[in-house]
Each structure stands twice: as structure tokens, then as C-alpha cells.
Structure 1
């Protein structure tokens, strides 16, 4: 049964209202999949796939069937979803029983009850591409109007996903920098303790820390934290 339809204008407005500081990338992608499934006529199952550094994954899907249909393509590195993602074009399969480009995948989809599909490329960033994949239970489910609407939706979704990915990457980088600063601070404290106890230079103190890290098979930061903690206890 087709999902209840949402007005396209409302769906696009909903994409624009997503607060990137309140939701993570995976949540943004999930909302895109759900909105697309409710917006494009004929759609019964939807997935959003991301491809980064050669790694393919269905990052969001409205049903297990959508995920399984995508995974089948990833395992074989072949299928309409991948072609749409790589080339950033729309790939329509109007009738699975008469599909010649990907006959094995079409047979798999047909056996799962899928009659037609539509994959829209999502150019997110240079290193990240993706595809919005819509699956229908009937043949010829996506007419010209549905394809145009799906492409318009995908264009808005690509912007939302690009912003979300950039925000997510920036947040990760910020966390990494904060962690690096904390690590550096505790290492400097440990060096100071060693310098005070051994009457040695900063370079010599760091060499001692590094040797202890290697001998105990622990990270340099962990060794420094233990040394600082011991000094505080004393």
C-alpha cells in the first residue's frame, strides 16, 4: 500500500526547517527518506544511499526491503542506485520484468514484490555522492510528473545533506581538536612533573614519557594522565 501523500510544498518547507545544530547527519538523511516516501506519488519504499571514499551504504531507509535492495547492489558493486550516485543523474526502471540493463537486480527486486524503481543522484560534495531511491510495487509507477517532483525534491535534499555533512564534519573536527588540546595539556603537565623530579630538560622528559608509553604499550596520553594523577595523590 502506498504511503499517505504529503503536499510537495510542505515537504520542501520541512527540509528547510531542519536545524543542523539539533540533529545529526543520520537523522537528516532519515527525514529526507521519510518525506520523499510521503511526497512522490507511487513510492512504497525509499532509501537514501551515501558513497564516500568508495564505501557504499544505505544510511536511511523506510523499510527493511529498501535496505535489502540497496545492499544487494553494494555487495555486487552494480545496480541503478550506484549508477545514479556516481553519475548524478536520474535512473528510471519502469518495468522490472522488462529491464535489460540490470537483469539480475531486476529479478531480485521483482521477486521481492517491486514493479518499478527510480534513483535520483545526489551530488553532495566532491568526495561524497549519494542517491535517493524510490521503489514501487506496481510497474510504471513513476510518470513524468512524479519523476520531475522527485528530482526537485532531491535537489533540495542534496542541499540539506551537503549542509548537514559539512556541519557534521566540522563538529567532528572541533571535537578532535578539543581532544588534541586536552591531550597536549596533560602531556605538558606530565613533562613538568618529570622535569621537576629528574632535573632534566623538556625534550628529555618527553623522551622518558615516550619510552614509558612504548614499554607499557599504552597511549602517550594515558601514561601522562596516570603520572599526573599519581602526582596529585602524593
Structure 2
């Protein structure tokens, strides 16, 4: 029996794959999860191929920041959930000891709890559905709901990669990797200008993105472009 609220399950089952890109599908799944499941304040999907992780979709720059911090450290719940196949939950980031450095950094971003659920993918790709809470504590029913939603997302990804849309999916992966690369370049610029470390540089970039109401990657591209044309 489903643990999802009836309205959420109805919306998930009503999603149609025909004519939609994987990016559009993932965004819709995350919007439904965020709006309909208690505790999913900020949601993302991490995908990994050949040990190269990227955030395929996210509901807020805060979710992206929480993911990107893990990629920078090389560890964290979303990376470990994807590779281990285990559900990883953090009741209170302030007391978390499994991922030193990352936990402290993400608390500074305003995240106090998190859950990462591995995606049951049957292809040469691993990943996780992640959600981040602004308050400590992880409701048990939220974990069950996340596992179900992860199953729906895995089906969408599997269909895109295995059948109809492998070429487009590869292009979307490349775009996501390019976005991450330009964010790293922008961080390098900020580090040089402010004589700070990568974590502080990402914080400056994220806060500037929020303050200007522009996407993180768009701001990063603008920073890199201005440096290249200076």
C-alpha cells in the first residue's frame, strides 16, 4: 500500500512521458514532492556516471548549494546513498559526525536535516533523491514517501536513457556538467578576488544569486564572461 498522500500519488501517476524532456519530467516530480510531502523543503536529484556527480534537477538554489558542497568535499549523504544503495538520513546536521566539514558547511547555509534516497536504476547510472529541511527532525512517513517518489523518478530516467531519449539525455548530462564547470570557474574568480577558500567563495556566489534573483549558473556564467572579456 502506498504511503503517499492520495493527491500526491494521483499527480505522480498523472505525469505523461510523451513529448516531455527528462529535465521537464524531473522538475515536475520534484515540484510535486516539495508541494505535497511534509518535510521536503528543498529537493534535488543527483546523478552519477563514472564517479562524476551532477545535480540533474532541483527546486531551489539552496538545494543545489547543498549538493554542490558535497561534490566539493567528495562525500555526503547524496553521494553515499547513490553509491551504497542505502537510505541516509540526518536528523540534525549540528550533531552529524559521518561527514565532517560538509555538515558544518551546510548548517551555515540554513539546512538542519536531510535525507537521501537511492534511485533504483537498472542502467549504467546511479543517483539519489535528496531533500533538505530547515528544521531538525525527519518524519518517518516522509522517508517512506521519498522511497516511493524515487521509484517513480527512476522509471522516468530509465525510460529516457534506455529507450526514447538516450541522445537527449546525454546532451542534458553534458549541459549539467558544463553548468557545474562554470560554477567552479566563477568560484575560482571569487577566491582570487577575495583571497578566500572554495566554501566561502561558493557562499558569496550563492548569496549574490539570491540577492539578484538570478540562477546560480547564470550568475556564474556572467562572472566568467566578464573576466574573459576584461
TM-score normalized by structure 1? 0.65
Residue 108 (1) aligns with residue 108 (2): no
Per-residue deviation, 1:171: 6.6
Q: Aligned partners of 2:157, 2:36: CA distance in 1, in Å?
A: 18
Matches for 1:45-124 after TM superposition, within 5 Å = 45-124=42-121
Residue 156 (1) aligns with residue 155 (2): no
State the superposition RMSD in angstroms. 2.0
Q: Aligned partners of 2:126, 2:11: CA distance in 1, in Å?
A: 22
Residue 24 (1) aligns with residue 21 (2): yes
Query: Is the 1:43–1:136 contact (alpha carbons within 8 Å) kept by the matching residues of 2?
Result: yes
Partner of 1:10: 7
- SS of residue paired to 1:15: helix
Structure 1 spans left out of the alignment, 5+ residues: 1-6, 174-234
Per-residue deviation, 1:43: 1.8
Residue 147 (1) aligns with residue 143 (2): yes
Matches for 1:183-194 after TM superposition, within 5 Å = none
Q: 1:125 aligns with which of 111, 122, 127?
A: 122
Moved over 6 A (4+): 170-173
Partner of 2:217: none
Q: CA deviation digits over 1:43-101, x for unaligned, max 9?
A: 21111111123221111111101101101111222111001111222100000110010
Name the count of aligned residue pairs. Answer: 166
- SS of residue paired to 1:19: coil
In structure 2, relative to structure 1, the CA distance for the partners of 1:168 and 1:13 (3 Å cut) is farther
- SS of residue paired to 2:165: helix
- SS of residue paired to 1:31: helix
Q: Aligned partners of 2:105, 2:97: CA distance in 1, in Å?
A: 13
Partner of 2:40: 43
Q: Aligned partners of 1:104, 1:165: CA distance in 2, in Å?
A: 35
Structure 2 spans left out of the alignment, 5+ residues: 171-230
Q: Aligned partners of 1:16, 1:169: CA distance in 2, in Å?
A: 23
